[in-house]
C-alpha cells in the first residue's frame, strides 16, 4: 500500500515537472556528441544525448507534486515520500530488489571498504568478511512505461555539439598512473580512471578492458557490468 501511494505521488511529481499540463510541452535540449574512434578507422561518428538543464531538488519536487490542482498538500507529499524512502532503504539493506510499477527497479550494489584489496580464488589467500565490505551504490532500471511516458511528454530542441575529452597523457603514461593508483588503493573503477586520465567514460572503459585482457599490463578485471573493478594482476610463478 505504501509503495502504491509512493508511486502515485512520484508519478504526479514527474508528470508536472515534465509537463505543466497536457497542452504545454517543455523543450528538452539535445547535444550531438562526438564518439571515440575505438577501432582507429579515422572516421568521426556521433551520438545524441540530452542536456541536463539543472538538478531538481527534493523541495522543488514536492512543490510540483502539490501544484496544478493535484489535491495533495506539501506536508502530505513530504511525509509519504520520506517514509517511502526509509522503507526502500530498509528493503534494499535486507538484500531485496524493489520494483515499483510504472517506475522501475531498485537494487543495492556491494563493494570493498576503501583501501581494501580484493581476494583471489586461490587457496591459502585471506578471505573477506563483512567488515571489509559495504554497500557502495544503488542501481535503478527504469520501467518501460516510465520511458514511454517521458517520450510522450518530451519535445526536443537542438542545443549544439560536444567534442571528446582528450587525455594529456600517452597510453603508457595512463597505464603507469593506473598501476600507481592500484598500488595505493587496491581496486579501481572506470570513474577513477577517468579522473586520473581525463578520458571520457567510453574511452576509459574501453582502455581498461584492453589492459585487463593484456597479461603484460599488470592489470586484471573482476566482476561484471556495474560491479566490475580492476586490480593488480597476480603474477604466476
83-103 pLDDT, tens digit per residue, is 999 999 999 999 999 999 999
Q: Looking at the predicted structure, is the pLDDT value of residue 197 above 70? A: yes
Domains identified in the chain, total number:
1
pTM score: 0.56
pLDDT band at 54 (very low <50, low <70, confident <90, very high): confident
Residue 110 within a domain: no
Q: Cβ distance 190 to 227 under 8 Å? A: no
Residue 205 within a domain: no
The runs of H, that is alpha helices, within the chain are 2-18, 58-66, 74-93, 144-153, 171-185, 190-197, 201-213
Domain hosting residue 92, numbered range: 2-103+143-164
Q: Looking at the predicted structure, is the pLDDT value of residue 22 above 90? A: no
Residue 129 within a domain: no
- Alpha-carbon separation of residue 48 from 38, 154, 162 (angstroms): 18, 15, 10
Q: Which of 78-87, 101-110, 217-226 is least confident?
A: 217-226
| Distance in angstroms (rounded) separating the CA atoms of residues 208 and 200 | 12
Residue 190 within a domain: no
Q: Which of 44-48, 96-100, 115-119 is least confident?
A: 115-119
Residue 126 within a domain: no
Residue 64 within a domain: yes
| Distance in angstroms (rounded) separating the CA atoms of residues 61 and 11 | 11
Q: Cβ distance 159 to 28 under 8 Å? A: no
User: Nearest Cα to 159, choosing from 51, 54, 53?
Assistant: 51
Residue 149 within a domain: yes
To which residue does cell 489535491 refer?
Answer: 71
| Distance in angstroms (rounded) separating the CA atoms of residues 50 and 47 | 10
Q: Cβ distance 135 to 93 under 8 Å? A: yes
To which residue does cell 505521488 refer?
Answer: 9
Q: Looking at the predicted structure, is the pLDDT value of residue 23 above 60? A: no
Residue 124 within a domain: no
Amino acid at each position: 500500500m505504501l509503495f502504491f501511494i509512493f508511486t502515485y505521488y512520484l508519478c504526479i511529481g514527474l508528470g508536472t515537472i515534465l509537463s505543466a499540463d497536457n497542452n504545454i510541452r517543455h523543450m528538452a535540449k539535445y547535444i550531438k556528441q562526438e564518439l571515440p574512434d575505438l577501432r582507429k578507422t579515422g572516421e568521426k561518428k556521433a551520438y545524441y544525448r540530452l542536456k541536463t538543464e539543472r538538478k531538481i531538488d527534493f523541495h522543488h519536487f514536492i512543490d510540483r507534486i502539490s501544484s496544478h490542482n493535484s489535491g495533495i498538500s506539501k506536508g502530505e507529499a513530504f511525509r509519504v515520500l520520506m517514509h517511502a524512502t526509509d522503507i526502500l532503504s530498509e528493503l534494499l539493506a535486507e538484500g531485496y530488489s524493489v520494483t515499483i510499477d510504472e517506475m522501475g527497479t531498485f537494487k543495492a550494489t556491494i563493494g570493498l571498504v576503501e583501501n581494501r584489496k580484493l581476494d583471489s580464488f586461490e587457496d591459502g589467500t585471506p578471505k573477506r568478511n563483512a567488515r571489509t565490505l559495504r554497500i557502495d551504490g544503488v542501481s535503478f532500471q527504469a520501467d518501460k512505461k516510465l520511458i514511454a511516458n517521458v517520450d510522450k511528454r518530451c519535445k526536443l530542441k537542438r542545443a549544439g555539439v560536444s567534442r571528446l575529452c582528450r587525455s594529456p597523457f600517452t597510453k603508457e603514461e595512463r597505464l603507469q598512473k593506473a598501476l600507481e593508483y592500484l598500488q595505493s588503493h587496491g581496486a579501481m573503477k572506470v570513474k577513477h580512471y577517468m579522473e586520473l586520465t581525463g578520458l571520457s567514460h567510453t574511452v576509459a572503459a574501453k582502455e581498461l578492458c584492453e589492459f585487463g585482457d593484456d597479461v603484460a599490463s599488470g592489470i586484471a578485471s573482476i566482476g561484471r557490468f556495474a560491479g566490475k573493478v580492476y586490480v593488480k594482476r597476480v603474477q604466476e610463478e
